[in-house]
Amino acid sequence: MARTQRRDTYPQRLKKSHITATSNKVQPPWSGQNVWRWLLTFYDEQQLQDIQKAWVLDTEEAKDAKNTIATPFKTLHLVACLSPQQGQAQHLDPGFHRLEVGLDAPLLTRQVLLTLCVGQVADTLKELEFEADVVSLHATATPWNRWTVQALARCCRRGTQVWVESHAESQEAESSLMVLLSQAGFVAQAAPSQTAPQTAATPNTPPQTSALSAPALSYTYDPQWDIKTQRRIWRSPAQEPGHCTVLGAGLAGASVAYALARRGWRVLVLDAASMPAAGASGLPAGLMAPQDSRDDSPRSRLIRAGIELTHQHAQRLLIEGQDWAPTGVMTLQMAEDLADNRTETWHPSGAWIRPGQLVRAWLAHPLITFQGHTYVARISHEGPQSWKLWDTQDQLINTSSCVVLANAGGAFELAKTCTTPLTKLPAMEQLQGVLSWGYREAEDPNFAMHPVNGYGSLIPKFPMPEGWAWITGATYEVPRNELELQQHHQHNLERLRQLQPRTAEALSENFEQNHVQHWVGTRCVNSKRLPCVGSLEASGLWIHAALGSRGLSLSALGAELLASRIGAEPWPLPKDLAQHLMVDG
C-alpha cells in the first residue's frame, strides 16, 4: 500500500492575534473610510504589520468601540504579492491565501483581511478583481513592463494613489517605471510635505519612511481616456452596509450572515424551522477533508482554500475538542485496476466539525438576528434595491435592500417566484442520504485514531452531549421503511470495512444488534458539483447554495466571496478559480 504525506500550510507569523499598541503620528491615508483596499505588489512583513496595527488602533471612534451596534464597522483589505520563492519561505502554496487578522484585537468592529497572493506578479495582477485605493510598489522588486503596468491599471479606479518606494540605487529602474506609469494613465504627484526624508538603502531593504505616508514618488491614476469596463463583468459599485435578509439558517446562510455582519450589515436570517441548523447542517458531525486530483482541479483548489479559511473560523469561534478538532484525516483512494490498489494520503488540514455549533457561532454575531418559523413562499422586486419577502398566506414578512438565497434546494424554486425573470441559475438536485452513528467507550484501541475519508467516511471519536460517539456513511438514497433503513446501515458498514476494516470489525456487533442510530439529510447539488455563488439580479438579489457534500469546506469561502462582491472588495480567490462558483458573468 502506498502512503504519502501532504504538507498543509498555515502562516501563523502574520496572524499576530494580539496587536499591541504603538503610537502612530502619521495621518493614515484611509481617514474616514469604512473600507480601505491596499494593494502591495511586493511582500514586506514588517510593513504589512505596521499597516495592520495602525488600522486596528487608529480610530476616531475607538471611544465608542464597546458599543458595537453604534460603531461603524471597518475593513482594511491588504493584498500583497509574493513571488513563488517568498511563498515557499512562508510555507504558502501558489495561489491566494485569505488570512483574517485583527479580529482578536480589542475591537470587534475593526477587521483586517490579508490576502497573500503567491505567484509571478504579472499573473497575480490579472487574477485580482477589485479596485485598490492605494497601491504600493517597488521599482526593482517587480520586473515592470508595459503589460504588467497595464494589468496594474486594471486594479485601479480613477483616483487610486500609487506609491513608489524608491532607493538611491534604483534610480534607473524608477525612471523607466515612471515612463510606463505615465503611458498607462498615472499622473505624477508632488512629494507630500509630511514625508520623512529618504535614506539610502539596498534595493531589498524597505526605506525608512512610515508605511502609512506617501513616499516622494507618488502617482494618481487619472487617465485622459475613459476607463474601459466591459471586461469587468463582476465589478459593480459597492453596496453600502444596510439591512440584509438571508434565507436559510444552515452553513450557507449563517456563513454569509457572519461575513456581512463583520462588514457592518444588520442581517436578519429567516428559516422555516424553529432553530438554526435544522436542515443538512444539523448532521451530528462532519468532515472537512481535502480532495486530491491528478491535475489539481478547480474543485481540489477550492476545497483547499475553503478549508484554510474555515480553520481560521473554527479556531476563533469554536471550542477545540468539543465543537471541532483539527485531527488531520487519512484519505484512501482505491484503484481497481492496480494490484496494490490502496493509496493512503495523510492530510494534516483535515478536521471534524459539529456543523450546528459552527452555524450557531456564526449567528451569534451582535448584528445578526435569527427568526425561525418563517417560511418564505415568494419574493418580489419592488424597485431599485427593494425586495419583498412573502409568506404562504401572501403576508409581507420583510422588505430589504439586499437578499441572499441560502436555503439550499429551496433557492431554485424561490428564485423562480421573482417578478424579474431569472435565467442564470443552474438546476439543482437533491440527494438524500443516511449516516450511521453510535456511542463508544472513551478509550477503545479497536477504533481508528483519526478520521478516514475516501470510500465514505469515518469520524471515530467526537463528543455528543450524552458521551463519545462515532459516525460513518453516507448513502445516497432515502429509506422508505425500517427494512430499507437497515439496508442503508449495512451499506455503510460494508463501506467501512473497505475504509477502515479494524473499526468495522469493532462495530459489527453494534450493527447486528441494532445499536446503531441514523441521521437522514439532503444534500443540494448542481450539475457542476460546486456551490452556486453570485448575483441573481443586479440590484441586490444574491445566492449562496448547492454546497453538496462539502458544506464545511466551502461555506465560509463562498460567503467571503459573496460579501467581497457585495462590498466591491478584493476576492479571497483568484478570478479564474472564483468563476467556477459564479452563477453570473
Ligand X SMILES: Cc1cc2nc3c(=O)[nH]c(=O)nc-3n(C[C@H](O)[C@H](O)[C@H](O)COP(=O)(O)OP(=O)(O)OC[C@H]3O[C@@H](n4cnc5c(N)ncnc54)[C@H](O)[C@@H]3O)c2cc1C
Q: Which residues bind ligand X (CB under 6 A)?
A: 247-253, 270-273, 278-281, 283, 286-288, 355, 375-376, 406-408, 410, 414, 433, 435, 457, 473-474, 521-524, 545, 547-553
Helix axes 482-499, 501-512, angle to 10 degrees: 160
Place of cell 469604512: 34
Amino acid identity of residue 197, one-letter, is P
> How many distinct helices (H) and strands (E) make up the chain?
13, 28
Cβ–Cβ under 8 Å, residues 427 and 412: yes
Question: In angstroms, what is the minimal distance from the CB of 566 to ligand X?
Answer: 18
Residue whose CB is less far from ligand X, 217 or 309:
309
Please name which of 318, 281, 288 lies closest in space to residue 303, comparing C-alpha atoms.
288
Question: In angstroms, what is the minimal distance from the CB of 270 to ligand X?
Answer: 5
The x, y and z cell numbers of residue 138, run together, are 517597488
Is the torsion defined by CA of 311, 314, 320, 323 positive or negative?
Answer: negative
Residue whose CB is less far from ligand X, 82 or 547:
547
Helix axes 251-261, 551-566, angle to 10 degrees: 40
Cβ–Cβ under 8 Å, residues 185 and 160: no
Question: In angstroms, what is the minimal distance from the CB of 426 to ligand X?
Answer: 15
CA–CA gap between residue 159 and residue 140 (Å, rounded):
24
Residue whose CB is less far from ligand X, 345 or 457:
457
Residue whose CB is less far from ligand X, 169 or 413:
413
Quote the distance between the C-alpha of residue 132 and its chain's center: 20
DSSP string, 429-447: EEEEEEEEEEE--S--TTS
Question: In angstroms, what is the minimal distance from the CB of 450 to ligand X?
Answer: 15
Residue whose CB is less far from ligand X, 375 or 468:
375
- Three-state SS at 389: strand
Residue whose CB is less far from ligand X, 48 or 397:
397
The x, y and z cell numbers of residue 575, run together, are 478570478
Residue whose CB is less far from ligand X, 207 or 473:
473
CA–CA gap between residue 28 and residue 189 (Å, rounded):
18
Residue whose CB is less far from ligand X, 118 or 402:
402
Is the torsion defined by CA of 303, 307, 308, 312 positive or negative?
Answer: positive
Question: In angstroms, what is the minimal distance from the CB of 364 to ligand X?
Answer: 17
Question: In angstroms, what is the minimal distance from the CB of 551 to ligand X?
Answer: 2
Please name which of 403, 346, 407, 358 lies closest in space to residue 379, comparing C-alpha atoms.
403
Question: In angstroms, what is the minimal distance from the CB of 498 to ligand X?
Answer: 17
Question: In angstroms, what is the minimal distance from the CB of 260 to ligand X?
Answer: 15
Question: In angstroms, what is the minimal distance from the CB of 374 to ligand X?
Answer: 6
Residue whose CB is less far from ligand X, 164 or 554:
554
Amino acid identity of residue 379, one-letter, is I
Quote the distance between the C-alpha of residue 95 and its chain's center: 14
Place of cell 439496508: 487
Question: In angstroms, what is the minimal distance from the CB of 512 to ligand X?
Answer: 23
Question: In angstroms, what is the minimal distance from the CB of 76 to ligand X?
Answer: 29
Question: In angstroms, what is the minimal distance from the CB of 494 to ligand X?
Answer: 16
CA–CA gap between residue 549 and residue 530 (Å, rounded):
10
Residue whose CB is less far from ligand X, 461 or 550:
550
Place of cell 514618488: 217
Please name which of 242, 324, 217, 260 lies closest in space to residue 562, comparing C-alpha atoms.
260
Length of the chain counted residue by residue: 585
Residue whose CB is less far from ligand X, 234 or 437:
437
Please name which of 53, 51, 44 lies closest in space to residue 17, comparing C-alpha atoms.
53
Please name which of 270, 274, 269, 272 lies closest in space to residue 258, comparing C-alpha atoms.
269
Residue whose CB is less far from ligand X, 414 or 504:
414
